[in-house]
Chain A
């Protein structure tokens, strides 16, 4: 039965002591401060990275269903160019008939070199249709997109990614109107995309999929198919429809149908693991800080042995003494924890200029939880030593 009055007295006494020993208090709390700061920062950066990736996914639209060969990303087995179904125009035509499907984008994907004016750069060929630009949700910085009739006719035109255009030409917008060569294929640049921030998008050679038929894509197949759904709520229904349609032609293991939430949950799983490992590493500094507190508390107990004796003589119980020292270590570590949180917040404020790092309620709660747990855990051993001193031995101690 700790009554409030008794406890406020203990707190006041402890804080008074810290004011008398400012340097020692500051140094002891420093350990916890650094520990809490590193843990909170790691959580904040992890959260930021997660937010960043979620934003990237969302910029591609939440109404997207992706069809890949193989049993899929979330299935864990090798998704990619090897094995599984090879989609073609027949699939595009049958998928577009599914209710609530807004568009189907066939994606032919190949890494290839691209040449212009003697310069050769690595690029990613994307054979798609005009709906790809709607999916990307990005603007052109020059020129124009290719049209439905370009796609139907297989016109040899392309829109280049920003970095690629910048590398091949003096100004990225200079690319418009020039001709580039992809292996044996010569295509005319009609537009340049704005920066997308990812390597594949910025180094893309986007062209009508029919233009790739020939030496680039002799089998006239696609690596994957992107389906735009009219609204988010229909994604599940459309996925079912897609599976039904494709199962008429392919075996179950030959393709996978995923949407953004599936991908996100996979990414989130990975992040949770990485984050836990980072936090575990950060916690080592918390442990060291806790040992620092224990050390100081042992010194304090020795220093105050006589005082413990005096207090016992005037009526303090073992529990009173235990609580007194426990309160001190608790305040020391919570004080360190709060300082750590403040410093971490300041750093996060600066980092936010570049990166969406975030401190959430959880990190605040963890801070208080962990730092008080450390205070109690590492304080209890010295405090018990103090409480178990016999009054007479303590009072005779010089």
Chain B
């Protein structure tokens, strides 16, 4: 299996009022195993939709998506949820932590939804990851009591707890100052280098995309040769 993700002539459209809006138009794309790739585009370019399609949060209107060898366009909700749980980890711009849960509870959340017997001790693994990312002391805090950089680290640990093959990061530095942003980008780079995780970074900033090994550009829902 030389590819991790393959899109074949994928379309995604929405009905907005009585108008059909095409967010992703005829996109074909192959992402290899252990790649660190940047998807670039302005807001409204369809880059987030593309990421949601890759992350199985949405189903394409047309076309095929293969993930880890499986055609996911025909899977049921249960099967999609299972892949999201096991194979994909999300890191969002706005962190998307649950504020009424502590850091530790947030990190353990994906393990609660595993439909298979876990091959690791969730608490031990969570503690280990918390230490590795320097937020162990914050484990019993609620997310709104820690800094943005710390929240994003928590989100990364949550994305890693199930040992995913793919990390999808949607503008992960968008809510952070540039120094903290750099740190988060370094973490993502390390994940790719040291853990061999496929990292897909969605951003609108050139210098952030430049940290990745390959960049693709999207404009008006279509892949373009070069981003202008």
A residues with a Cβ closer than 8 A to B are 6, 9, 17, 20, 306-307, 309-320, 390-392, 395
Known: A315-B82, A318-B77, A390-B58. A310 touches B96 (CB 8 A): yes
User: Which range holds the interface residue count of chain B?
Assistant: 20 to 34
* Chain A residues with CB below 8 A from B210, complex form: none
Please report B residues at the A interface, Cβ cutoff 8 Å. Answer: 52, 55, 57-58, 77-78, 81-82, 84-86, 90, 92, 96-98, 100, 109-110, 112-114, 158, 162
Assembled-state Cα–Cα distance A307/B85 (Å): 16
B90 adjacent to A313 (CB under 8 Å): yes
Checking A315, A317, A390, A395 against B96 with a beta-carbon cut-off of 8 angstroms, the contacting residue is A395
Listed residue (B78, B112, B114) with the most chain A CB atoms within 10 angstroms of its CB = B112
Contact B52 A314 (CB under 8 A): no
Q: How far is the CA of A319 from the CA of B115 in the complex (A)?
A: 12
**CB contact between B114 and one of A310, A315, A390, A392 (< 8 Å): that residue:** A315
**Residues in chain B near residue A318, CB distance under 8 A:** 77-78, 81
A315 to B86, CA, bound (A): 8
Counting residue pairs across A and B whose Cβ atoms lie within 8 Å, the total is 60
Question: Which of B57, B82, B114, B162 is close to A313, meaning CB atoms less than 8 Å apart?
Answer: B57
Give chain A residues whose Cβ lies under 8 Å from the Cβ of B84. 312-315
- A307 to B143 CA separation, bound complex (whole angstroms): 13
- CB contacts (< 8 Å) of A312 on chain B: these are 57, 81, 84
Given contacts A20-B100, A313-B84, contact A319 B110 (CB under 8 A): no
Q: How far is the CA of A314 from the CA of B161 in the complex (A)?
A: 10
CB distance from A326 to the nearest CB of B (A): 16
Contact of B113 among A17, A309, A316 (CB under 8 A): A316
Interface centre among A6, A20, A315 (most CB of B within 10 A): A315
Closest to B114 in A: A315
**Which chain B residues lie closer than 8 Å to A20 at the CB level?**
100
Given A311-B109, A392-B58 in contact, is the A319-B96 Cβ separation under 8 Å? Answer: no
Q: In the complex where A311-B109, A311-B113, A392-B57 touch, is A317 in contact with B100 (Cβ < 8 A)?
A: no
A-B residue pairs in contact (CB < 8 Å), sample of 9: A306-B96, A310-B97, A311-B109, A312-B81, A315-B86, A316-B85, A317-B77, A317-B78, A392-B57
Chain B residues in 8 Å Cβ range of A309: 96
Q: A315-B84, A315-B113, A315-B162 are in contact. List 9 more A-B contacts (CB 8 A).
A: A310-B109, A311-B109, A313-B57, A314-B84, A315-B82, A315-B110, A316-B81, A395-B92, A395-B96
CB atoms of A310 and B77 under 8 A apart: no
Give the docked Cα–Cα distance between A391 and B55 (Å).
11
A314 contacts B158, C-beta separation under 8 Å: yes
A317, B84: Cα distance in complex, Å? 10
Taking a contact as CB atoms under 8 Å apart, the answer to whether B78 and A315 are in contact is no
Contact A319 B78 (CB under 8 A): yes
